[in-house]
Amino acid sequence: MNNGIPLQYFLILASIMFFVGIYGFLTRRNLIGILMSVELILNSVNINFLAFNRYLYPDRLEGLFFSLFIIAVAAAEAAVAIAIIINIYRRFSTVNVEHVNEMRF
Amino acid sequence: MSLQIFSLMRHELLLIAVLLLILVAEIFWDPARKKNIRIFAVILFGIITLLGFLPVPEGSLFGEMYIVTPVRLMMKNILNIGVLIVLLQSITWLGKEKNSDKISEYFILLLSTLTGMSYMISSGHFLMLYLGLELATIPLAALAAFDRYSNNSAEAGIKLILSSALSSGILLYGLSMIYGTVGNLYFTEVAGLFTGSNLALLGFIFFFTGMAFKISIVPFHLWTADVYEGAPVNVTSYLSVISKGAALFIFIIVLFSVFPAISVVWQKMIYVLSILTMTIGNLFAIRQQNLKRFLAFSSISQAGYILLGVIGGNELGMASVVYYLLVYIFSNLGAFGVAIAISNASGKENIDDYNGLYKTNPGLSLIMMLALFSLAGIPPVAGFFGKFFLFTAAAEQGFFILVLIAILNTIISLYYYLLVIKAMFINKSENPIPPLKSDFPTRLALTLCVGGIVIVGFASIIFEYIRNMSFGV
């Protein structure tokens, strides 16, 4: 019933997405790009939860519900982050993180 | 059954009721007298704080997703007391012209983060923990960016939301691995079925990292100083005390009740991180000139001391952490209270500006001195006893070298706390801060802090009370 795709493939895909997200978070210079990297991380978590749920524990839907909640919370998080980014654009006239660093050690 | 729900979830339900009342008040209140919403909200919150102390039966709701035990209730009460002080401190600031259009937003955002923290502390399932954590951080970013026309505030907001989003992503990735090995995420079942296989350990380490971001333990602390400096000073005091305290509470609950099976692993991790946190927090605090940034690094190193109580992994460790956080709330809010009063009146936030403060404002200087002595751990005040119990908890488990390093760090920290005190009492200044006349809420908040610092230290009954409750998280 699982169409012959082994669980490992999903886990490898998820971990690649996770680390691409981390890499993007650290190297992107555009705030929107950083936000997209965070979404990539959260989606890799969703893939993990769904794959584990479908393959290992198909009789309970805990992983499915967890990923539904993650999607909802990620939307809220993105909304607040974009609101702050708009404010930053008004203040600094840019969304490049190189220019948004007035505070230093 | 429904009545039982009301009495068990009383903290959260009352908070939500107050939130809605403030929302309704914002809509229907006469615009000319909007400022009175501040008083209304603080009085309502004071009533909640008192109601929180009513005795409540133990129990759990929603199939153990929501757990109430005496120690968790006490954690919520401690946070409530801290928030009451924060709200009292912010009344003057909210009364300023630039904030007059967003008074109720401040209360709504702040109380919704507190609701999230209460749910988080009561969680019995990782989903509940995650939802509480997010409810506690997303509005906090909006609060950090509260000063709409300040560049630093916007920068603080974006730094907070992005680093907290990254940390919850890491935390969730760890949870997904734990889910893969155990099959569900109830605290009790994870504790029973946790095998310590490689996948589970990896998941635990990701989870630990995500929590360490929230508590700002050292390799994950880089967002802290900038956020604390950029945010409005009232929000900084909330972030450094209440938000950090709540994260530490749930961190210790999860470590003690869900992962006791691999305590050897997390004791090693905490051992290293605690040394790093104390030392680096202290070394950076020495060179700070801005008082908010200084208190940010001081709070990082305080988290390092608190980890000493966590490492014990027993009842005494739990009691000492709860007790220390109670002390820490009073002493840090005392220091911030003085900083807020001075920043409101003169806009000055640097340590140099405090030169000669004792000549003009003896009362404020004495409160600041008491609070800093308590943070440093000088004997007659509460901070000393707090540190003493933390160090005892670690020494009881045989971590003597760690305790020695912690004591050395306490001595280093004494140096920079005394620098501030020296600036106030000894240094001369051409134009010191003029004498301030603080209003009633500020005075009340400072009195509460001073009372807390003195009474919690001298009344040994408080520690005994916490200790008696601390078994069975």
Interface of A with B in 24-83 (CB under 8 A): 25, 31, 34-35, 38, 41-42, 44-45, 48-49, 52-53, 56-57, 60, 62-63, 65-66, 69-70, 73, 76-77, 80-81, 83
pLDDT over 80 (residue B13): yes
Q: Which of B150, B173, B184, B206 to mutate to test the interface with A (most CBs of A within 10 A)?
A: B173
Contacts of residue A52 in chain B, CB cutoff 8 Å? 176, 179-180
B138:A48 CB<8 A = no
In this prediction, residue A3 has a pLDDT band, given cuts at 50, 70 and 90, of low
Q: Which amino acid is at B222?
A: L
Q: Indicate if the pLDDT at residue B423 is higher than 80.
A: yes
3-state secondary structure (DSSP) of residue A102: coil
**Hey, are the CB atoms on A41 and B169 less than 8 Å from each other?**
yes
Does pLDDT of A65 surpass 80?
Answer: yes
Quote the minimal CA–CA distance from A1 to chain B in Å: 20
A62 closest CB neighbour out of B141, B161, B185? B185
Triad B120, B123, B129: Cα angle to 5°: 55
Single pTM value for the model: 0.90
Q: Do A81 and B284 touch (CB under 8 A)?
A: no
Rg of chain B in Å (alpha carbons) = 21
Query: Distance of CA B361 to CAs B4, B118, B205, B306, Å?
Result: 51, 38, 49, 33
- Tell me whether residues A34 and B225 touch, CB distance under 8 A: no
pLDDT at A46 over 90: yes
3-state SS, residue B350: strand
- Is CATH 2.60.120.260 the classification given to domain A29-96? no
Q: In the 8-state DSSP scheme, what is residue B183?
A: S
- For residue B43, report the phi and psi dihedrals to the nearest 5 degrees: -65, -45
Phi and psi, residue A4, nearest 5°: 75, 5
d(CA B331, CA B453): 6
Inter-chain contact B127–A57, Cβ cutoff 8 Å?
Answer: no
Question: Residue B231 phi/psi, 5° resolution?
Answer: -70, 155
| Whether the Cβ atoms of residue B104 and residue B11 lie closer than 8 Å to each other | no
Nearest to B154 among A60, A63, A84 (CB): A84
Element (H, E) at B61: strand B59-61
Residue A29: its chain B contacts at CB < 8 A? none
How is chain A split into domains, by residue range?
29-96
Say if CB B126 and CB B185 are below 8 A apart.
yes
Q: Specify burial of residue B401 (Cβ count, 10 A radius: 0-12, 13-18, 19+).
A: exposed
Residue A1's alpha-carbon distances to A54, A64, B116, in angstroms, are 11, 18, 41
Residue B91 has pLDDT above 90, yes or no: no
Higher model confidence: residue B365 or residue B30?
B365
Residue B160: which pLDDT band, with cuts at 50, 70 and 90? very high
* Rounded distance between C-alpha atoms, residue B12 and residue A101, angstroms: 38
Residue of B nearest to A19 (CA): B170
Q: pLDDT class for B420, splitting at 50, 70, 90?
A: confident
Q: Using CA atoms, how far apart are residues B109 and B58, in angstroms rounded to an integer?
A: 29
Taking an 8 Å cut-off on Cβ atoms, the answer to whether A85 and B158 are in contact is: yes
C-beta atoms surrounding B208 within 10 Å: 22
User: Residue B312: pLDDT above 80?
Assistant: no
> Residues near B428 by Cβ (< 8 Å), separated by ≥ 6?
B355, B356
C-alpha B378/C-alpha B380 separation (Å) is 6
- Percentage of residues of chain B with pLDDT beyond 90: 22
Q: Which residue of A has its CA nearest to B185?
A: A62
Chain B residues closer than 8 Å to A45 by CB: 169, 172-173, 175-176
Residue B72 confidence (pLDDT): 87
Separation CA B159–CA B152 (nearest Å): 10
Distances in Å between the Cα of B329 and the Cα atoms of A68, B12, B151, B217, B410 are 36, 21, 29, 18, 18
Mean pLDDT in residue range B36-51: 88
Cα separation, B68 vs B60, whole angstroms: 6
Using an 8 Å CB-CB cutoff, list chain A residues near B130.
Answer: 69-70, 73
